[in-house]
Amino acid sequence: MWNLMKTAMLMAAITALFMAIGAVIGGQSGMMIALAVAVAMNFFSYWFSDKMVLRMYNAQEVDESTAPQFYRMVRELAQRAQLPMPRVYLINEDAPNAFATGRNPQHAAVAATTGILRVLNERELRGVMAHELAHVKHRDILISTISATMAGAISMLANFAMFFGGRDDEGRPANPIVGILVAILAPLAASLIQMAISRAREFEADRGGAEISGDPQALASALQKIHRYAQGMPMEAAERHPETAQMMIMNPLSGGGLRGLFSTHPSTEERVERLMAMARGA
pTM: 0.78
Looking at the domain assignment, is residue 85 inside a domain?
yes
Exactly one of 93, 132, 202, 204 is catalytic; which is it? 132
**Model confidence pLDDT, tens digit, residues 215-227:** 999 999 999 999 9
121 or 32, greater pLDDT = 121
Q: Are 111 and 98 in contact (CB under 8 A)?
A: yes
d(CA 205, CA 219): 11
267 or 142, greater pLDDT = 267
Average pLDDT rounded to a whole number, residues 42-70: 87
The mean pLDDT of the chain is 82
**Residue 257: per-residue pLDDT:** 46
Share of the chain above pLDDT 70, in %: 73
Looking at the domain assignment, is residue 11 inside a domain?
no
Looking at the domain assignment, is residue 119 inside a domain?
yes
pLDDT band per the 50, 70, 90 thresholds, residue 281: confident
For 105, the domain range is 42-156+176-279
**Model confidence pLDDT, tens digit, residues 90-127:** 999 999 999 999 888 999 999 999 999 999 999 999 99
Looking at the domain assignment, is residue 130 inside a domain?
yes
Looking at the domain assignment, is residue 200 inside a domain?
yes
Looking at the domain assignment, is residue 37 inside a domain?
no
Give residues with Cβ within 8 angstroms of 29, minimum separation 6.
Answer: 169
- Per the annotation, the verdict on 132 as an active-site residue is yes
Most confident of the following: 128-142, 169-183, 235-249: 128-142
Average pLDDT rounded to a whole number, residues 69-91: 98
**Residue 123: per-residue pLDDT:** 97
Q: Are 184 and 240 in contact (CB under 8 A)?
A: no
Whether the pLDDT of residue 1 is over 70: the answer is no
Number of domains making up the chain: 1
Q: Which residues pair with 26 in a beta bridge?
A: 167
Whether the pLDDT of residue 51 is over 60: the answer is yes
- CB neighbours of residue 8 within 10 Å: 13
d(CA 279, CA 282): 8
**Residue 217: per-residue pLDDT:** 97
Nearest residue to 179 (alpha-carbon basis) of 163, 198, 195: 163
In this structure, the dihedral spanned by the alpha carbons of residues 6, 11, 12 and 13, taken in order and rounded to 10 degrees, is 90
**Residue 261: per-residue pLDDT:** 55
Looking at the domain assignment, is residue 71 inside a domain?
yes
**Residue 4: per-residue pLDDT:** 56
183 or 129, greater pLDDT = 129
Looking at the domain assignment, is residue 192 inside a domain?
yes
